[in-house]
C-alpha cells in the first residue's frame, strides 16, 4: 500500500480550557475515500478543523510527508486541499458565481469550471442568484463545487449529506464518488449507506480519540463492533446496513435513506 496522503498523529485540541481532542491518529490513504466516523460529539468536526488549523491544535499533520501543523490555514489549503465544512460555509450574501470565484487560486492552475458545471449544471443557471436563497442541497453543491475547482489533492467533506432530501443525498454521493476517482477524499459522514458506498477505509473516533482504524467493509460487517463504535441501533439487523451498497443502485440507496443511517441528530 502506498504511503498515505495525510497522516495525523496525536492531534490535540483544547478550546477554552476544555480538551476536545485527546490525541487523534488518522491516515488518509493516497487514493480513494477514507471515512471519519463516530457518534455525535466524538470530535469528528473538531478533528477536521484541527487538521486545517481552524482551531488551535498540537500534534503532527503530515500532508504528503510535509509537516503542516505550523502553517496558517490558507497556506495549508493552498497546498491542495478543498474543504466543504459541516455548515457548508457558503457565503449567503454572495452570488453562486462569486462563491465559486472565491475558490479560484490566482497564479495556480486554471479553475476547472467545465468539470464543475458538468457535475452541477444547476449552478450555471443559478450563477447570479444569491447563495443564501438556494436550497440546502444546492448550497451543498456550491460547497463541493468549490473543492473541485482547483485540482486539489485532497477533499475534506464534513457531513455533506446532512439534512438533505434522499434524492439529493444520492446526487451528492454520486458526485463524491466520481470526484474520488481523481482526488483523495476524507469524508465525515453519518449516513452509513453513503459510507459503505464511497469509503474503502475508515477511522472511528470516540471521546476525542481514535478508537478504530481499518477497511470500512470489515467494520460494517461486524455488527457488534459497529454498534459499539457507532451506536447504530439496527446495524446488524434486517440487512439495511448489510446490504452491499456498492452493488445497490443509487435509487435503492435513496429509497431507504433513513434506515441505514446513524443519524442521531434531533
Coil vs helix vs strand at 184: strand
C-alpha distances (whole Å) from 131 to each of 49, 142, 146, 177 are 23, 8, 13, 24
Binding mask 13-32 for another protein (x = CB under 8 A): --xx-x-x------------
Coil vs helix vs strand at 225: helix
Binding mask 128-157 for another protein (x = CB under 8 A): ------------------x---x-------
Q: For residue 33, which of 60, 5, 10, 54 has the smallest C-alpha distance?
A: 5
* C-alpha cell belonging to residue 11: 492531534
d(CA 1, CA 252): 32
Q: For residue 78, state whether it binds another protein (rule: CB under 8 A).
A: yes
Can you list the positions of beta strands (E) in the chain?
A: 6-15, 18-28, 33-38, 57-63, 66-67, 81-84, 154-158, 184-188, 201-206, 209-215
CB of 253 to another protein, least distance (A): 27
Which listed residue (1, 2, 65, 74) binds another protein by CB under 8 A?
Answer: 74
d(CA 163, CA 161): 6
How many residues contact another protein, by CB under 8 A? 44
Binding segment toward another protein, per CB under 8 A, in 46-54, 114-122, 180-188, 255-263: 46-54
Binding segment toward another protein, per CB under 8 A, in 77-85, 160-168, 170-178, 214-222: 77-85
Q: For residue 105, state whether it binds another protein (rule: CB under 8 A).
A: yes
Q: For residue 43, state whether it binds another protein (rule: CB under 8 A).
A: yes
Binding region for another protein (CB under 8 A)? 15-16, 18, 20, 40-43, 45-46, 49, 52-59, 69-70, 72-75, 77-78, 81, 83, 85-86, 89, 91-94, 98, 101-103, 105-106, 146, 150
Amino acid at each position: 500500500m502506498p504511503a498515505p496522503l495525510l497522516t495525523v498523529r496525536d492531534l490535540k485540541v483544547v478550546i477554552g480550557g476544555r480538551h476536545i481532542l485527546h490525541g487523534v491518529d488518522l491516515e488518509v490513504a493516497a487514493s480513494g475515500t477514507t471515512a471519519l466516523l463516530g457518534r455525535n460529539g466524538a470530535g469528528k468536526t473538531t478533528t477536521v478543523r484541527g487538521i486545517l488549523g481552524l482551531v488551535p491544535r498540537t500534534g503532527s499533520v503530515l500532508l504528503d510527508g510535509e509537516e503542516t501543523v505550523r502553517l496558517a490555514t490558507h497556506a495549508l489549503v493552498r497546498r491542495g486541499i478543498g474543504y466543504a465544512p459541516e455548515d457548508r460555509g457558503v457565503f449567503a450574501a454572495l452570488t453562486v458565481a462569486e462563491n465559486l470565484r472565491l475558490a479560484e487560486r490566482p497564479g495556480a492552475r486554471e479553475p476547472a469550471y467545465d468539470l464543475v458545471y458538468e457535475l452541477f449544471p444547476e449552478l450555471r443557471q443559478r450563477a447570479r442568484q444569491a447563495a443564501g436563497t438556494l436550497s440546502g442541497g444546492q448550497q451543498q453543491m456550491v460547497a463541493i463545487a468549490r473543492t473541485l475547482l482547483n485540482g486539489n489533492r485532497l477533499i475534506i467533506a464534513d457531513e455533506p449529506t446532512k439534512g438533505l432530501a434522499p434524492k439529493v443525498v444520492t446526487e451528492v454521493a454520486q458526485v463524491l464518488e466520481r470526484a474520488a476517482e481523481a482526488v483523495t477524499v476524507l469524508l465525515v459522514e453519518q449516513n452509513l449507506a453513503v459510507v459503505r458506498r464511497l469509503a474503502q477505509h475508515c477511522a472511528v473516533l470516540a471521546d476525542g480519540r481514535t478508537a478504530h482504524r481499518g477497511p470500512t467493509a470489515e467494520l460494517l460487517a461486524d455488527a457488534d463492533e459497529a454498534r459499539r463504535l457507532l451506536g447504530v441501533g439496527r446495524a446488524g439487523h434486517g440487512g439495511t446496513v448489510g446490504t452491499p451498497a456498492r452493488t445497490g443502485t443509487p435509487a435503492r440507496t435513496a429509497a431507504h435513506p433513513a434506515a441505514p443511517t446513524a443519524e442521531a441528530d434531533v
